[in-house]
Amino acid sequence: MSNELRLDIDKETAKGQYSNLAVFSHTPTEFFLDFALVQPQGVAQVVARIVTSPQHAKALMRSLAENIGKYEAQYGPIPDLPGGPLKPSGPQA
């Protein structure tokens, strides 16, 4: 049996959502990954939420680190954000 998985994607989902902020939270059994778009006025609108298991969150972290390594090997280091990442405040769902 192959470890390959074929992904189907509809046209709307394939367009993607731009996000320039990610906020992560968790319970003992789930991770919540909120991706948001920060507007120039300082308001952030969540454009996508992923809820997943701790095991899948850890696998995602490893896969993202591996892919960042491959990207940097090909294109050079990715600079850090000036001033560090944004920290959300105010009400959250």
How far is the C-alpha of 19 from the C-alpha of 47, rounded, in Å? 7
**pTM for the complete prediction?**
0.79
Q: How confident is the model at residue 83 (pLDDT cuts 50, 70, 90)?
A: confident
The DSSP secondary-structure symbol of 29 reads S
> Tokens 């490893």 appear where?
62
**8 within a domain of the structure (yes/no):** no
Overall number of domains in the chain: 1
Q: What is the mean pLDDT of the chain?
A: 91
Nearest residue to 30 via CA among 53, 56, 60, 49: 53
Q: What percent of the chain has pLDDT over 90?
A: 76
Which has more confidence, 67 or 91? 67
Q: Give the CATH number of the domain where residue 27 resides.
A: 2.30.31
Establish if 37 belongs to a structural domain: yes
Give the domain range for residue 65. Answer: 18-75
* Any domain includes 38: yes
What are the pLDDT digits (tens) for 36-81? 999 988 889 999 999 999 999 999 999 999 999 999 999 999 999 8
| Amino acid 75: pLDDT | 98
DSSP string, 26-66: E-SS-EEEEEEEE-TTS-EEEEEEEEE-HHHHHHHHHHHHH
- pLDDT reading at 88 higher than 70: no
